[in-house]
Structure 1
Amino acid sequence: MGRGDLSDAEWERLWPFLPVSNGSCDRWRDHRQVINGILHRVRTGAQWRVLPERFGSWKTVYERHRLWSADGTWERLLQQVQASNDAAGEIDRDVSVDSTIVRAHQHAAGAPHRPTADARLKGGRRARTSGRSAVAEPARPPGGGGAGDEGLGRSRGRCTSKLHLSADSRCRPLSLIVTPGQRADCTQFIAMLERIRVPRPGLGRPRKKPDSLAADEAYSNGPVREYLRRRGIRHTIPETSDSQAARRRKGTRGGRPPGFDEDRYKKRNIVERALNRMKQFRAVATRYDERGYVFLGTATAAAVAIWLRT
């Protein structure tokens, strides 16, 4: 077993949730060997073509990672691992949310532009490829960047992506979303909470509602607070200075200030530590993936490894 490979105990936790068929007559190559190759690349940030020979063909490793990123397999594996921890009573419902900027390497900006259907009909030309085999792209899961931007944008760090994350009290990721770097945090808040889905071991709906939530001033706006009140989620979000000034100008019509628990807010550092733990994986700290859904799969694979090893 090499450094960073799945241990026997981690493999025993993961293998029951792995897909048993690839949807065709071809058989899967050994899952453990391929997953170890994926985790090696996620941990080191190495190019796919230079993967060590002990992981087999680099193309097999890459194609399985791309496929599992596209069809949501990585996300389902994360949810199933979370469910196994929840069944053992190792998950609490105190959630914190935040985001971090991820610098995009120049290799991440080479994805060819795919025109819309209207543009193809108007121009009467076929979509241009980048010299690669014209393989149809599978359906992308939500949260992997919008059409045309691939989760890449312009911010103070130049070409960047933003990784939005919610975490439990043990600094483990619960849900992830990738957007362009200039996207505001509050725009992804509702989508990020809706993506928290911890399946129950038996019958019943997945667990989606946290007991309490902590966030910084970036999430302090009316729609976010209204959403939390509607779902009955206790929250600790500081009020921005301009919101305070606007409320005071209205006098009695401005209403009471929102509640704020200082002790609970001090524990918001768990999401900062979770983001730091995610960035220990070099392929997450720097984005090398061209496609947004592939980078989201890379971050989700890192989250699965964190859950297995915590």
Structure 2
Amino acid sequence: MARGDLTDSEWAQLEPHLPKNTGRGGRWKKHRQVINGILFRIRTGIPWRDLPGRFGSWQTCYDRHRRWSADGTWERIVRAVQAGADADGRIDWSMVSVDSTVCRAHQHAAGARKQAPRITGKHTRPAQHRPDEALGRSRGGLTTKIHLAGEGGLRPLAMLVTPGQWGDAPQMIPVLDRLRVPRPEGGRPRTRPDHLSGDKAYSSRRNRRYLRRRQIKHTIPERRDQQAHRLRRGSSGGRPTGFDAARYVRRNEVERLINRLKANRAVAMRFDKRAYVFHGTVTVAAVRLWLCA
């Protein structure tokens, strides 16, 4: 076992959730070797062709990562690992925070055709195929933004990738709609945290109505322009929003989570051309964080 490879305890948690070989020819042999190669590439950010020979064929590692990103396998794996952690009481639902981070896109990430890939198979399902490839232009160049919701243990519960110039407030509801932690004993998956925290970027009447409708307590500071608008309207402007400064201190947890994710070079800078492959890259980094818990 080399530096960065899956430990025996991590492999024991991960192996039961991997696809089984149901066809001829041993299609899914050497899962551990291939996944170690995928983790090595995500951690170092090297081109796929430069993977060390101890991981086998670079083409096998790339094809498996691309396929599992396209058909939602990585999504199913991270949810299965989350379900195990929740069953053991290792998810801190007392405070879930939302935030986003911008990732620069390498020149190799540009130029993909704006069409969804064709994925064939009996149980395949597109995970997140975007017609815009989640690339946005700014003065700094091409960027991609990762929106995520993280629990108190510094691990992501839900993620979403968008073009870099997209705002945070409109993406809060799509991120929370992706929060689904299955229950191994059966029943509906858990989709609601006890408390939600976010910075001023998430302060909007739409977001607050959504949280009240779902009965999610929240701590989101009100922006100055929203305060001034409410005061100008007088009694029709409504009551000021509640704000718990003591709870808001815990918002640093999601920022520390982002730092842990971006310790992987292929997450801090996007090298993948297709949005669904980059989303799979971020998901694999999240799986590793759950296995290390």
Q: TM-score range by the shorter chain?
A: over 0.9
Identify the match of residue 127 of structure 2 among 130, 138, 141.
Answer: 141
Q: Does residue 108 of structure 1 match 2:109?
A: yes
Return closer, same or farther for 1:218/1:23 CA change in 2, 3 Å cut-off: farther
Q: Write out aligned runs for 1:140-179 (5 A).
A: 140-142=126-128, 146-147=130-131, 149-179=132-162
Give the SS at the match of 1:197: coil
Q: Write out aligned runs for 1:1-310 (5 A).
A: 1-21=1-21, 27-93=27-93, 94-114=95-115, 136-137=118-119, 140-142=126-128, 146-147=130-131, 149-310=132-293
Question: Unpaired runs of 5+ in structure 2?
Answer: none
Distance 2:225 2:118 in 1: 49
Distance 1:23 1:187 in 2: 43
Deviations along 1:30-61, one digit per CA (max 9) or x if unpaired, are 11011000000000001100111111111111
- Provide the TM-score with structure 1 as the length reference: 0.90
Distance 1:272 1:68 in 2: 28
Question: Unpaired runs of 5+ in structure 1?
Answer: 117-134
Return closer, same or farther for 1:254/1:295 CA change in 2, 3 Å cut-off: same
- Provide the TM-score with structure 2 as the length reference: 0.95
Aligned residues: 288
Return closer, same or farther for 1:255/1:88 CA change in 2, 3 Å cut-off: same
Distance 1:22 1:298 in 2: 25
Q: Residue type matched to 2:118 in 1?
A: A
Return closer, same or farther for 1:247/1:301 CA change in 2, 3 Å cut-off: same
Give the SS at the match of 2:160: strand
Kindly, what percent of the aligned residue pairs are identical? 58
Q: Cα offset for 1:92?
A: 1.8
The RMSD of aligned alpha carbons is 1.6
Distance 1:245 1:23 in 2: 64
Distance 1:246 1:309 in 2: 46
Q: Cα offset for 1:203?
A: 1.2
Distance 2:114 2:278 in 1: 17
Contact 2:21 2:29 in 1 (8 A): no
Q: Residue type matched to 1:92 in 2?
A: D
